[in-house]
Amino acid sequence: MTQKVPVLVTGGAGYIGSHAVLALKDGGWPVAVIDNLTTGFRFAVPDGVPLYEGDIEDADLLARIFSEQGTKAIMHFAGSI
């Protein structure tokens, strides 16, 4: 059986990221989201999934998330045009 490690999804409040979050959650993966909400939406993050509002360039915030969530994998969907 595959061990389901905690996953951090960057841009997890956007269209693609939020669908990845939903699939991870439905699959039983521990998941958290970081999003600056520039183009994402709070309501797009499923209930029960921690949402950290901030930027992926904030090293202190990332360190806090990694510590609090035990993050072992990252799926990167953050970006804007």
pLDDT in tens, 65-77: 999 999 999 999 9
Residue type, 59: A
Residue 7 lies in a domain: no
pTM: 0.95
For residue 71, being part of any structural domain is answered with yes
Contact 71, 8 (CB under 8 A): yes
Q: Is residue 19 part of a domain?
A: yes
Q: Is the pLDDT of residue 81 over 80?
A: no
Enclosing H/E stretch for 23:
helix 15-26
Question: Is 39 a member of any domain?
Answer: yes
**What pLDDT score does 53 carry?**
99
| Residue 55 near residue 71 (C-beta atoms within 8 A) | no
pLDDT tens profile 4-44 = 999 999 999 999 999 999 999 999 999 999 999 999 999 99
Residue numbers of the domain that contains 50: 14-76
Give the chain's domain count: 1
Q: Residue 50, class by beta-carbon neighbours within 10 Å (0-12 exposed, 13-18 middle, 19+ buried)?
A: middle
For residue 3, tell me if it sits in a domain: no
* pLDDT above 70 for 1: no
What is the pLDDT at residue 2?
79
